[in-house]
């Protein structure tokens, strides 16, 4: 079920990023246009002059954080969605000759050399985590008020997989239990053959590639280990959202083959949008997981049955 991946052959297109000032002016123009407001009416909604709006949209001046909050309130009032606009100029995820374009986000920016420095409790333990979709790491770093007020940075990177030992973990129960092991959820079963299997699964690999699980991981795993839901139910819960794949550099050797192509910081207007999008995604994931747990909880094998079968 678990095997190494080989490189694909795709076209790599690198696009230059917009400056933060020009990006902000583009979003403001977009919000006003979609809302169907004249510059004068838009200015009235925010409490500024028409000339101020003209300067914002031309990029000759930048609204302060209070004004950006006002702009965001206008967007919400007129139901203008612009999250896709925030990530639209990012280089596209592609692979060529086993060199893959990925995305990494940091709440405070990368300090020093890239290394396997994440928390031990991440999906596959310590590593440098990168995603195939810009939206997932971006919403992750702006998932709370504390994060929204920080100095988060989004990175586009090129990861050279040549000469690295890569493990691909498909979305099966092995994926679920490997994540559970890495996150410390299987310690009470430390004497079991199942625990030993997952404790050794990443040995000798520089990189692991897998699907990204949704934010309900801990709650769903608790239900699984307490035998309230089956293996199929937990797998369906964690696979419900199309979050893309993650590439995790587990070793220093792998991290040395990561090159930063672009880094981007975000305005208050963008942070407000991403923060709300993150909250909406979490609520959506919760609703889907609750429905699956209710309707499919006994469809498959319970954890105690699985332990007996694999002894």
Q: Encode pLDDT of 237-296 as tens digits.
A: 776 666 789 999 999 999 999 999 999 888 899 989 988 888 887 777 677 667 766 666
Reported as a single tens digit per residue, the pLDDT across 43-65 is 999 999 999 999 999 999 999 99
Contact 229, 220 (CB under 8 A): yes
Instruction: Say how many C-beta atoms besides its own lie within 10 A of residue 267's C-beta.
Output: 20
The dotted CATH code for 20-86 is 1.10.260.40
Measured in whole angstroms, the distance separating CA 204 from the mean position of its chain's CA atoms is: 26
Cα(36)–Cα(25) distance, integer angstroms:
17
pLDDT at 311 over 70: no
Mean pLDDT, the chain, whole residue set: 82
Reported as a single tens digit per residue, the pLDDT across 123-136 is 899 999 999 998 88
What pLDDT, on a 0 to 100 scale, did the predictor assign at position 220? 75
Domain-wise residue ranges, the chain: 20-86, 96-309
In this prediction, residue 19 has a pLDDT band, given cuts at 50, 70 and 90, of: very low
- Percentage of the chain beyond pLDDT 90 is 41
pLDDT at 88 over 70: yes
Cα(111)–Cα(196) distance, integer angstroms:
35
What pLDDT, on a 0 to 100 scale, did the predictor assign at position 6? 30
């Amino acid at each position: 079920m678990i095997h190494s991946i080989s490189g694909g052959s795709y076209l790599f297109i690198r696009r230059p990023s917009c400056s933060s000032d020009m990006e902000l002016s583009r979003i403001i123009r977009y919000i006003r246009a979609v809302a169907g407001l004249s510059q004068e009416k838009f200015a009235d909604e925010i409490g500024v002059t028409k000339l101020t709006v003209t300067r914002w949209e031309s990029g000759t001046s930048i609204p302060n954080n209070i004004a950006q909050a006002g702009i965001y309130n206008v967007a919400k009032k007129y139901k203008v969605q612009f999250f896709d606009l925030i990530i639209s100029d990012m280089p596209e995820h592609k692979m060529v000759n086993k060199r893959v374009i990925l995305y990494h986000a940091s709440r405070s920016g990368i300090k020093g050399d890239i290394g396997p420095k994440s928390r031990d409790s991440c999906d596959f333990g310590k590593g440098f985590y990168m995603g195939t979709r810009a939206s997932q790491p971006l919403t992750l770093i702006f998932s709370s008020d504390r994060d929204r007020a920080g100095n988060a940075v989004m990175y586009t990177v090129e990861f050279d997989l040549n000469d690295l030992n890569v493990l691909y973990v498909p979305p099966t129960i092995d994926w679920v239990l490997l994540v559970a092991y890495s996150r410390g959820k299987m310690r009470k079963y430390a004497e079991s053959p199942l625990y030993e299997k997952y404790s050794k699964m990443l040995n000798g690999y520089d990189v692991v590639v897998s699907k990204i699980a949704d934010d309900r991981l801990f709650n769903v795993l608790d239900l699984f280990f307490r035998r309230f839901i089956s293996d199929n139910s937990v797998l369906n819960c964690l696979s419900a959202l199309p979050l893309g794949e993650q590439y995790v550099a587990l070793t220093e050797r792998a991290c040395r083959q990561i090159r930063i192509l672009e880094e981007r910081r975000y305005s208050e207007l963008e942070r407000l949008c991403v923060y709300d999008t993150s909250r909406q995604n979490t609520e959506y994931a919760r609703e889907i997981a609750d429905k699956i747990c209710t309707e499919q909880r006994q469809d498959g094998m319970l954890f105690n049955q699985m332990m007996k079968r694999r002894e």
